[in-house]
Structure 1
Amino acid sequence: MNRCDECAFVYASAPAGEVPQLLRGLADRYGAALTEVRDPRRRPAEGVWSPLEYTCHVRDVLRVQGERLALALAVEEPEFVPMGRDERAVADAYNDQDPAVVLAELAAAGDDLAARFAVLGPAELARTGVYSWPQPEVRTLLWLGQHTVHEGVHHLLDIHRAARAQAAAAADPDPVA
């Protein structure tokens, strides 16, 4: 995967030298996005996460990618275990968490991962691991960083969609009438 048709993210738009800055910038973007939402815990549809749940997910993606980065620097071509996104959302009660705390944790995780990527040279960025999504494939650490940026950008789209849905519902509280 080098492009996302849904959110139009192109992995090459995040070259190695920009990955740290893009990761650090996610915190401000998520803070701004959550201010657009009337109720960050409200799910826009059945089976769709709330803006808060997406924010928790991105925080955890940043943390897990940091663990994967460390593993790939220590072990030749490790297999990255799936993070269990849906199970984690339930086990950690994403929708019950405090949005301010989640945003602070997202910022810290983004800063930490950005700092880790900032010190990598071409040889480290070329190291590989087996990433299981969308199917098992050998990926470089550069791709891992780009994919992490993509996750952040993509889920901002989900939050903006939820904000629009909430605004539309508020503007027309009785759509059946």
Structure 2
Amino acid sequence: MDQCVECGFGYTARADEVPPRLRGLAGRFTEALAGVPDLRRRPAPEVWSALEYTCHVRDVLRVQRERLDLALRTDVPEFAPMGRDELAVTAAYNRQEPAAVLDALGAAAEVLATAFAALGPAELARTGLYPWPHPVARTLLWLGQHTVHEGEHHLMDVRRQWG
């Protein structure tokens, strides 16, 4: 994937752009959620609430950190799917405390941003077998770009519900 057809995100960020874009997610989600009158309301049964999208992004940040660590320790690791839909149910996303979710999102973004900032060209070129939408070898730079995309895309999801 080089560009998201739905939101228009292009996978063009340079390595030095990934950390600040990750760090900016917490503030942008906080700002977006401030305008949502009911964080737990699903606009349709198959569409997540603003809180569920925020929980998902927090967990994406955590999972991507685990994947990054694995790729730095293992040659061409296979990343397990995160089970996004199952996790929304088992972790009861829509019953979580919004302030705690935003704090955890900010902490996870900072940890991942710091990890990406420490990588050099050789490490960013390492690959792992990414499971979505089908298994394909992806570089760690792409992993960072994709993580930024996840945040940006789901900010769009939140805003289009209430924008």
State the TM-score, normalizing by the size of structure 2. Answer: 0.99
Q: Describe the superposition over 1:9-41 as per-residue Cα deviations: whole angstroms up to 9, x where unpaired.
A: 0010x2101100000000000000001110000
Hey, what does 2:28 align to over in structure 1? Answer: 29
| Whole-angstrom distance in 2 between the partners of 1:83 and 1:134 | 12
Regions of 4+ moved over 2 Å: none
Paired AA for residue 11 in structure 2: Y
Hey, what does 1:175 align to over in structure 2? Answer: none
| Whole-angstrom distance in 1 between the partners of 2:74 and 2:45 | 41
Hey, what does 1:5 align to over in structure 2? Answer: 5
Taking only aligned residues, the RMSD between alpha carbons, in angstroms, comes to: 0.5
Does residue 84 of structure 1 match 2:83?
yes
Paired AA for residue 65 in structure 1: Q
- The percentage of aligned residue pairs carrying the same residue is 66
| Whole-angstrom distance in 2 between the partners of 1:105 and 1:56 | 9
The unaligned stretches of length 5 or more in structure 1 are: 165-177
State the TM-score, normalizing by the size of structure 1. Answer: 0.91
Hey, what does 1:102 align to over in structure 2? Answer: 101
| Whole-angstrom distance in 1 between the partners of 2:67 and 2:59 | 12
Hey, what does 1:59 align to over in structure 2? Answer: 58
| Whole-angstrom distance in 1 between the partners of 2:14 and 2:158 | 25
The structure with the larger Rg is 1
Alpha-carbon offset, residue 5 of structure 1: 1.2
The unaligned stretches of length 5 or more in structure 2 are: none
Q: Describe the superposition over 1:20-68 as per-residue Cα deviations: whole angstroms up to 9, x where unpaired.
A: 0000000000000001110000001121000000000000000000000
| Whole-angstrom distance in 2 between the partners of 1:91 and 1:46 | 17
Paired AA for residue 111 in structure 1: E
